[in-house]
Amino acid sequence: MRVMETSVIPYFIALVFALAGLVKGVIGLGLPTIAVALLSLAMNPAEAAALLIVPSLVTNLWQSAGPHLAALLKRLWPMFAGIFGGTWIGAGLLAGGSTMAVIAGLGAALVVYAALGLLAARFRVPAHAERWLAPPIGGVTGLVTGATGIFVIPAVPYLQALGLERNALVQALGLSFTVSTVALGAGLLGAGLFDAKAAGASLLALVPALLGMAFGQWLRGRVSERVFRRCFFLGLLALGAHLFLSAIV
């Protein structure tokens, strides 16, 4: 998977995080997904996930702030607990599993997520089902996060199915991604993959991510979000298919 010169990789990392931040600035998600997927073209997925920790944590803490914080924590904590536990378990797969198997899993997760986005799939979770559904949703999300570095399946479709008001949904997504980031960072730290050198590189990646996010927020009111989302999901579909096929062929 390492297909570029070592001297080019720092510029590639900066470009990836700027692009990922731009997408997050426009539609409120996508930074971890894009960053891990694109970086995996040039490095081990575990290394890509380690680079992600600081930019993801800072941008998602930013997104998590808001008036619905207490209510969302009270409502969603069972899912967040599941995410943390599942990620801690799954991080061992990312750290110690076969690189090709991890890349295949990453590609498959991207294809599923992109397909759901392109189909504009809409689900509804009745209030009485949340109590028993939230923990396994969190656990599965955590396992996928720990194994691939992708935070979105099935947490994002589940949160969208709760019927939250738009601003509350954006805040809930930020909280979910924050928990996933903290849990992934803890798992990678425990596996010895998030040391001082990785933390420093991740901190440097924060700069292009914030610049991209600021530009994306400026761009949000100047482009069609519907068209932008469609392009985003088409790109993820192509990238996921490429990663999956490159790992199994």
pLDDT tens digit sequence for 195-212: 899 899 999 999 999 999
pLDDT score of 96: 66
Number of domains composing the chain: 1
Say whether pLDDT at 103 is over 70.
Answer: yes
In-domain check, residue 113:
yes
- pLDDT (average), residues 15-40: 87
- Mean pLDDT on 28-54: 86
Establish if 115 belongs to a structural domain.
Answer: yes
The whole-model pTM stands at 0.85
Strand, coil or helix: 249: coil
For residue 79, what pLDDT band results from cuts at 50, 70 and 90? very high
Say what the pLDDT of residue 225 is.
Answer: 74
Let me know if residue 18 belongs to a domain: yes
Domain membership of residue 218 (yes or no) is yes
Q: At what angle do helices 9-27 and 45-64 cross, to 10 degrees?
A: 30
Contact (Cβ atoms closer than 8 angstroms) between residue 236 and residue 114: yes
Q: Give the domain range for residue 201.
A: 6-248
Q: If you average pLDDT over residues 135-163, what whole number do you get?
A: 89
Measured between alpha carbons, how far is 197 from 143 in angstroms, rounded to an integer? Answer: 26
Whether the upstream peptide bond of residue 10 has omega within 30° of 0, thus cis, is: no
Q: What is the pLDDT confidence band of residue 1, given thresholds at 50, 70 and 90?
A: very low
Does residue 106 sit within a domain? yes
If one compares 175 and 243, the residue with the highest pLDDT of the two is: 175
Instruction: State the pLDDT at residue 27.
Output: 80
Structural domain contains residue 1:
no
Q: Which helix (H) or strand (E) holds 163?
A: none
